Homo-oligomer: A and B are copies of this chain.
Amino acid sequence: MAALRDVAKKAGVSASTVSRVINRPDTVPTTTKSRVLKAIKNLNYHPNKFAQRLRSHNVDRKLVGLLVPDIQNPFYVDVVKGVEDYCFERGYAVLMGNFMQDEKKGQMYLEVMQSEEIDGLIVAPIQEHHKTISQFKEKKIPIICIDRGLKNIDVDVVLVENEEGAYQAVDHLVKQGHIRIAYVGGIPSIPTTLEREKGYSQALLDNGLNVDDELIKYGDSTHLSGKELTEELLQLKDRPTALFTGNNLITLGALETIHKHKLHIPGDIAIIGFDDMPWSISLNPPLSAVSQPGYDIGKRATELLFQRISDPKRSPVKVVLKTKLILRESG
């Protein structure tokens, strides 16, 4: 509760001097400085952020916004951790929003973040053009996109070789002798879903197989949708012998359905999922997966963000991280 003026009074100086001690210590002689410093400590004085911010808009908020599509998805948890660790090292806090692929919710968070005047935003955008996100750009608030970029706006982005990753997984599957391989995708409107589908199709084509639309399913990137889509696939008269699943949660859902049908993996049906998980090895059977470096993605994004904060006019970069196909026993 102690204010600047209290410190000033206690130290027998003016408010200006106290402010100088805090913000430009080298402009005030040591003797005065020490007196002020003592008073500050004595009164346990902390500058009021709101007053500071009101007066000079360019003081850092030490706050970065992070907007993720689904915190239940272990992949994003890794991203969050990467962001958080990096921020922590630099004394920044994270204002997190989990928008559940929900336009409204994302919107609300963006508004809050705007009015909180965050120093920068890291976001996995649900659409490639987004009005509110563009507002950030206009307001000169740095944005970093992960997982997918933004149309019409030039932003830094860190993403992963989705097509390549999918290709490798599916290619492996056909090399194992599978002919009917299904793709259980996520939300069809998001780029990652499409890119992975592209890799999937290309791998089939390159191996002389044709792509069968019946075997390509889209959902909403959740556990439940993984379950349901897999169910549909298993009902097919000519059912697939292998599944390539579009993300973590879908994979888990698929697994559940497969187990419900008492099918043997990979004997009856093989499965490779996009996204590895720390416990993939403890699944039944240990899951083969395309691993994305979630933690690194978060870390790189934050790195980029801080670079942009300190130099707003550098030209936007695109960081593409590699995926890794991890073969265990499911496919």
Contacts and interface: CB of A to CB of B under 8 A. Distances in A.
A113 B94 CA distance: 11
Contact of A95 (B80, B95, B98): B95
A43 interface: no
Most buried by B among A105, A223, A278: A278
A174 interface: no
A252 B277 CA distance: 11
A84 B68 CA distance: 13
Contacts of A116: 49, 63, 93
A71 B62 contact: no
A62 B98 CA distance: 16
Contact of A255 (B112, B252, B256, B282): B282
Interface stretch (A50-58, A182-190, A195-203): A50-58
A281 interface: yes
A247 B108 CA distance: 34
Contacts of A286: 259, 284
Nearest to A62: B112
Copies of this polypeptide in the complex:
2
B278 A252 contact: yes
Interface in A116-135: 116-117
A86 B282 CA distance: 33
A49 B115 CA distance: 7
A281 B255 CA distance: 9
A259 B282 contact: yes
A72 B62 contact: no
Contacts of A97: 93-94
A54 B62 contact: no
B115 A98 contact: no
A43 to B, nearest CB: 15
A77 interface: yes
A252 B50 contact: no
A282 B281 contact: no
Contact of A108 (B88, B115, B252): B88
13 contacts: A49-B115, A63-B112, A63-B116, A80-B98, A81-B98, A93-B95, A93-B97, A93-B108, A96-B96, A259-B282, A259-B286, A283-B283, A283-B284
